[in-house]
Structure 1
Amino acid sequence: MTTDEGAAAGRPDGLWGGRVETEGMAAAVIDADGCVAGWTLGAQRLLGYAAEEVIGRPFADLLAPTAAAQLRHRRGHRLEGELRISRLAARDGAPRWLAAFDPHPDARRRLASDRLALLSEASTRIGTTLDVMQTGQELADFAVPRLADYVTVDLAESVPLGEEPLARLGRDAGRIPVFRRAGVASIHEGIPEALWDRGEPVFVPPASPFTEVLTTGRSYIEPMLRKSLGTWLRCDPQRSRVIRRTEMHTVMMVPIQARGAALGIAVFVRTDNPAPFEQDDLVLAEELVERAALSLDNAHRYTREHTAALALQRNLLPARLSGGPALEVTSRYLPADLDHGVGGDWYDVIALPRDRVALVVGDVVGHGIRAAAAMGRLRTALRTLADLDLPPVELLTSLDRTVGRLTQEDADSPGATVSGVGATCLYVVYDPAERHVDIAAAGHLPPVVVGPTGVATVTEVPPGVPIGLGLGHFESVRIEIPDGSLIALYTDGLVEFPTEDIELGIRRLAAALAHPRLPLEELCDRAFAARRTPSLSDDTTLLLARTGPAGAHRHPDDRAAPDDA
């Protein structure tokens, strides 16, 4: 600590009694009672205290009780450096001093280290899933209260939430962007600052910092928000009322951008914390948003692909199933979760001559739009071959050749990068006149058959090889099926779990279905409820058919299913 009696002579009286800028110097004016009478912006940046928090307090409260020159930071840690005390000349003759603090280089390094640690923590807390809404909320939660008292994350083309997606943000002059709230957090219970909840569209004034940030792609900072109440907020009475009621006094708006596209905007506000935002705060906010933007963009793109694949798959699957006069049928399909994407499960019920019915369940390897498109091609090809009324073995052999030929044609296309289609399939033909079924499998799981007395059996079927490998070796079995029996076809998502053998899952399914007289929908519920844990990485499909005498299950409106492939 050093003292200079004349260094501050002639120092302007404007330092006294408030916050001023003195060329970035971290300094305080001390009155005759030893209390803080003035506070520079440099001191606020260095120690975290706003002028309103220190004016009138003893300067000694800011000193750490050590022999070395140390000041207390607002967050509790200490800063070492050189403290210089200079006598000030004042017009009223009252003694005053200027206390200037020059932090030690180690203190500066500590501040930089704290910042890096904060950003490192952000990388583990933001973007933990491929869900747009969750990622937006993680950004808001992380910034409160570390940086702000209230944070919103508003995005364009967010999760549809049962509606059509919002239009993507553009930079056209005069265009009013539309947002959907993806994240919101506050230090106050109930979030009284929020005008819109998560998932709701957010209004943005056409002439406001929001549109300015999106048009220019540059962040916006307003250290003293109250100065703007007569400008752009004049056209936004709702926000004006909330600002006055919650005492918002400083704001930052940061664009969320990735790969050159504007995804939305993050808004940071302080209410209880009296310190206004400064340039260092804005730099930190931009770094946080930049780290979150890539996760948001990945989640956004994945959500769009997942939605498109799901819509494609649902459009390719049969809208209505009919087993004709011989079978009562129903199905249950559950797509994989968002993190893994839609798979290639498919099922079908096909009317054949002489009241026979073909039951089909298959699973294309992979996820996403490519798997859904491959599933559609397989289902179309199989329906075409079924119209030829081929025995199950011949049908699977022809299907394997057809898929191989289509794959080769795709690979021969200019610039094509097509890999072979791999799929499993189970094809079952029920003959009500003979009371039997013919079954052939192409690498698929065997069916479960429940007799009218409730005895469940896992039918032994030669497994065969998946479709698309070009090997074309399949075998079939024929079993007797009495009236009132239940036939269950399914995909591995219903019975396969990482922690147990798949045979246990199949036996659990068989036990759940061992109630042949229950309604088929109730049996579907029992089968899905019996899963040890829901399958997150694969689609889950179940097709149930109950046999009966001719005409027993025909509904007056039932007709043979048209070829809707």
Structure 2
Amino acid sequence: MDPFDETPRGGGEGLVETTEAVAAVDARGLVAAWSPGAGRLLGYGPSDVIGHPASLLLADDPPAADLRHAAAAQSWSGRVALRHQDGRRLDADLRAWSALDADGQPQWFLMHSPDEAQLMKWAFELSPLTLAIYDADGRTVRINAATRSLLGLEADDQALGRVVEELYGDAREQGVPSAPAFSEHVTETMRRVAATGQGVCYEVSAPTAPGARELTWAVNMSPVADPSGRVHGVFTAGCDITEQFEARQRLALLNEAGARIGTTLDVRRTADELVGMAVPRFADFVSVDLVDSVLHGGEPLPGPVDGTIALRRVAHQSVIEGVPEAVVALGAVDTYPDYSPPARALASGRPVVSSLGDSDFDRWALSDPARAARVRDYGFHSVMSIPVRARGTTLGVAVFVRRRPAPFAADDLALAGEMVARAAVCVDNARRYTRERHAVLTLQRSLLPRQLPQQAAVEVATRYLPGSSQVGLGGDWFDVIPLPGARVALVVGDVVGHGIHASAAMGRLRIAVRTLADVDLAPDELLTQLDDLVIRLSADGSSADGSGSYEGSTDEGAERTETADDMGATCLYAVYDPISRHCTIARAGGPEPALVRSDGTVELLALPAGPRLGVGGLPFEATELELPEGSLLALYTDGLIDARPGNLDELCRVLARHSGHSLDSTCGTVLERLLPTVPNDDVALLIARTRSLGPGQVSSWDLAADPSVVAEARKVASDQLSRWGLEDLTFTTELVVSELVTNAIRHAEAPIRLRLIQDQSLICEVADGSSTTPHLRRARAFDESGRGLLLVAQLTDRWGTRQTPTGKIIWAEQSLRET
């Protein structure tokens, strides 16, 4: 049967059998089809012209009007000068009809026929597009072969006069779930086109048989109207664009993956982002298993990995809630034998695609009863194993599994490979950062007090909480420093910046504060000296090459390198005396401390805010407070109150409600209420409950500046030791009192005062009105003086001197050893 008669039954393959001259030209101007009639007309065979420019067949340029119609993608007809194979000129009447090919690209049918209507019927019938004409009531007038094939019809009379719902009735009966919704959508759109006279273009997923691949179509609906504009029907043209649609989807997924994978410098979070992008987009189950050392910042395995390997599951996700098909739990270790697809991928360093029925896949699945059950119960049939590799090292393997009907194709492998490659670089960046973070955290913790010193002035609890990996570790610190006279210094500080330089700077400042505290400087004077030190350190850093870079993620949230010339710090320094219950505080920047008095009232201490350390040129001011016994003093860095709005008020409420609780639980409650699980910035918190030394632990005597009072001083000291039950220390104490009082009488000024303090040690203090500081020296053989302080230093555990507003105090301590 001639496929170019008025009722053709075949498809496009019938083109070569027609007696008419018919050709097709694609969007590039190349001949795409050539009928025997065209060969007889011009003398060329199909091999002579197909794939060659159609312009080679022209003897002259086509008429200008025809060119304008062609440029506007409009049908046209006219007389065109053609070139015969033997070189002669041949004028022929041609008709051209524009249509879309199977890829949705425009093409032209060129026909030489004496019957234009006949040619139009042939073009309609042979178009690879699904073409249909419906009347104004939505009933089918005509469909072409491609449409009949889509609907499973053999002849036009099976469709004529039927509406769309009837045409898709068979699909509904076959259980295709999308058929009713699709037919309703087409009918509604057709009615809108017929009513408005406006054509529409849209993409739609057409119903397919159960279990078959879903197809996507580009549909054009246009009204069929007479010259007066009255609409008599609707013309539809559809093109299968499934491949193009899926390609766009893959490209969109890849672009989204580039933005959503690697948002943090956390190995597990990055793996979670990878599986979250793949499921359910193009896989039904995805797992990521990594080398154990990668999770701790250790070195990955160099190059491909041969043999059986054990990996730790860090992420998996499924289209089924709860991931019931997972054989390995999160955090558990799975062992892949050398013949398994994941192990083969690790050995070759390249992806491995396997499916049910492959010998290695079946052997691997059957080697573990649990895995075999999952494959059977959930219908897994297609697997991609892709090595997670970055910078020449192997980090682990990602496994993609499908239970949907379509197996993985080459395009899926390319997409998954690109996503895993991006994730691998992010995982390696996170691994490197984890290693550096652990090093900095180890340094940071080694520079903080490991154990608070024994002292009786205050009860203390502290917390240090490192910031998130996005910001990096900072230089927050705290310290508790015992001072002479049973006093104690409380310190909280924060070095500006993050990273190893901030931690190192914190260590230097902490040591400097302890050194200056040993000199027993007043808080404001200590901050002044510390400010000078920071300025000098900054100057030293700026004169050296402090450049550096973090070898890892270039993500905006990654930790940046701080250099020495960035150095600056805040510091709050408080000295509490349990005898007078006076507390002297000075601060260089930083937040105000909170005070909870013994009656439960909370107060933010409005201390003068001195400049940040390293600014220079501005003074620091000290504030003196009298604290009732049992008061709470909370010192903290700004990471605590900046974490959330309203944290300062919440801190006061928590301290008020928990003032009577243990300090350790109070610290824990403060962090729990005010901070997320991982704060953005480092936090240092120190809470101290004040104590006092009562009259029974302190005795003092005013002494005249007369050598005769030395014996009296020894006597009162001896009597006091007897009352305290410290007779074993009498001899040494009398000697110390004698030497210190004698030195005060001989070399200092009145007033002279002797004080004994029973704390965790026995403290002997002699105050005088002179600011001259004595120095320890070794007396020569015939010197009559100079041995007193040397003797005191040898008989006591510690001794020293400190300045007071009215002079100085020389003190010595003896341990209270059990007898």
Question: CA 1:277 to 1:416, structure 2 compared with 1: closer, same or farther past 3 Å?
Answer: closer
Cα distance in 2 for residues equivalent to 1:259 and 1:223: 30
Larger relative helix fraction: 2
Cα distance in 1 for residues equivalent to 2:400 and 2:526: 63
Give the superposition deviation at 1:155: 2.0
* 1:443 alignment partner, one of 585, 589, 595: 589
Question: What aligned pairs does 1:403-482 form with structure 2 within 5 A after superposition?
Answer: 403-413=534-544, 416=547, 418=563, 419-471=565-617, 473-482=619-628
Question: What aligned pairs does 1:315-326 form with structure 2 within 5 A after superposition?
Answer: 315-322=446-453, 324-326=455-457
1:493 paired residue number? 639
2:405 paired residue number? 274
**1:77 corresponds to 2:77:** no
1:219 paired residue number? 351
Question: CA 1:441 to 1:279, structure 2 compared with 1: closer, same or farther past 3 Å?
Answer: same
Give the superposition deviation at 1:324: 0.6
Contact 1:252–1:269 (Cα < 8 Å) also in 2:
yes
1:191 paired residue number? 323
Per-residue CA distance 1:490-522 (angstroms, 9 max, x = gap): 11122235645xxxx434423432364332234
Give the superposition deviation at 1:305: 3.3
Question: CA 1:544 to 1:71, structure 2 compared with 1: closer, same or farther past 3 Å?
Answer: closer
* 2:388 maps to amino acid: I
Contact 1:330–1:521 (Cα < 8 Å) also in 2:
yes
* 1:496 maps to amino acid: D
Contact 1:153–1:181 (Cα < 8 Å) also in 2:
yes
Question: What aligned pairs does 1:174-189 form with structure 2 within 5 A after superposition?
Answer: 174=306, 177-189=309-321
* 2:499 alignment partner, one of 333, 344, 368: 368
**1:312 corresponds to 2:451:** no
Give the superposition deviation at 1:71: 7.7
Cα distance in 2 for residues equivalent to 1:189 and 1:512: 40
Give the superposition deviation at 1:124: 4.5
Contact 1:396–1:472 (Cα < 8 Å) also in 2:
no
Question: CA 1:124 to 1:182, structure 2 compared with 1: closer, same or farther past 3 Å?
Answer: same
Cα distance in 2 for residues equivalent to 1:383 and 1:237: 64
Give the superposition deviation at 1:466: 1.4
Question: CA 1:195 to 1:260, structure 2 compared with 1: closer, same or farther past 3 Å?
Answer: same
* 1:302 maps to amino acid: Y
Question: CA 1:204 to 1:536, structure 2 compared with 1: closer, same or farther past 3 Å?
Answer: same
- The 10-residue stretch of structure 1 (361-370 or 524-533) with the greater mean CA deviation from structure 2: 524-533
Contact 2:306–2:343 (Cα < 8 Å) also in 1:
no
Give the superposition deviation at 1:428: 0.4
Question: CA 1:507 to 1:306, structure 2 compared with 1: closer, same or farther past 3 Å?
Answer: same
Percent identity of the aligned residues?
43
Per-residue CA distance 1:264-291 (angstroms, 9 max, x = gap): 21111123x2332221221121122233
Cα distance in 1 for residues equivalent to 2:467 and 2:305: 41
Per-residue CA distance 1:81-114 (angstroms, 9 max, x = gap): 9xxxxxxxxxxxxxxxxxxxxx969665434322
Cα distance in 1 for residues equivalent to 2:678 and 2:300: 33
**1:517 corresponds to 2:652:** no
SS at structure 1 position matched to 2:619: coil
* 1:541 maps to amino acid: A
Larger radius of gyration between Structure 1 and Structure 2 = 2
Question: CA 1:77 to 1:203, structure 2 compared with 1: closer, same or farther past 3 Å?
Answer: same
Cα distance in 2 for residues equivalent to 1:142 and 1:167: 27
Cα distance in 1 for residues equivalent to 2:645 and 2:381: 54
SS at structure 1 position matched to 2:573: strand
Residue-pair matches, total = 485
SS at structure 2 position matched to 1:363: strand
* 2:485 maps to amino acid: R
SS at structure 2 position matched to 1:179: strand
Contact 1:166–1:179 (Cα < 8 Å) also in 2:
no
* 1:334 alignment partner, one of 465, 479, 492: 465
Cα distance in 1 for residues equivalent to 2:422 and 2:458: 56
- The 10-residue stretch of structure 1 (465-474 or 237-246) with the greater mean CA deviation from structure 2: 237-246
SS at structure 2 position matched to 1:478: strand
Cα distance in 2 for residues equivalent to 1:459 and 1:398: 24
Contact 2:304–2:394 (Cα < 8 Å) also in 1:
no
Contact 1:493–1:540 (Cα < 8 Å) also in 2:
yes
SS at structure 1 position matched to 2:600: coil
Question: What aligned pairs does 1:154-193 form with structure 2 within 5 A after superposition?
Answer: 154-157=289-292, 160=295, 168-171=300-303, 174=306, 177-193=309-325
**1:484 corresponds to 2:630:** yes
* 2:512 maps to amino acid: A
Contact 1:364–1:422 (Cα < 8 Å) also in 2:
yes
SS at structure 2 position matched to 1:444: coil
2:11 paired residue number? 2
- The 10-residue stretch of structure 1 (383-392 or 228-237) with the greater mean CA deviation from structure 2: 228-237
1:285 paired residue number? 416
Question: CA 1:35 to 1:241, structure 2 compared with 1: closer, same or farther past 3 Å?
Answer: same
Cα distance in 2 for residues equivalent to 1:173 and 1:159: 15
Structure 2, unaligned stretches of length 5 or more? 1-9, 17-101, 104-150, 154-170, 191-204, 221-237, 549-562, 698-758, 763-819
**1:506 corresponds to 2:648:** yes
Question: CA 1:250 to 1:526, structure 2 compared with 1: closer, same or farther past 3 Å?
Answer: closer
Give the superposition deviation at 1:374: 2.3
* 1:261 alignment partner, one of 362, 369, 393: 393
* 1:280 maps to amino acid: D
Question: CA 1:157 to 1:421, structure 2 compared with 1: closer, same or farther past 3 Å?
Answer: farther
Per-residue CA distance 1:362-416 (angstroms, 9 max, x = gap): 1122233332232222212222222222221222222222233333334444575
Q: TM-score, normalised by structure 1?
A: 0.73
Question: CA 1:529 to 1:240, structure 2 compared with 1: closer, same or farther past 3 Å?
Answer: closer
Give the superposition deviation at 1:224: 4.2
Q: TM-score, normalised by structure 2?
A: 0.52
Question: What aligned pairs does 1:24-423 form with structure 2 within 5 A after superposition?
Answer: 74-78=213-217, 108-157=243-292, 160=295, 168-171=300-303, 174=306, 177-229=309-361, 239=371, 242-244=374-376, 246-271=378-403, 273-322=404-453, 324-413=455-544, 416=547, 418=563, 419-423=565-569
Contact 1:205–1:235 (Cα < 8 Å) also in 2:
no
- CA RMSD of superposed structures (Å): 4.2
* 2:281 maps to amino acid: R
- The 10-residue stretch of structure 1 (446-455 or 167-176) with the greater mean CA deviation from structure 2: 167-176
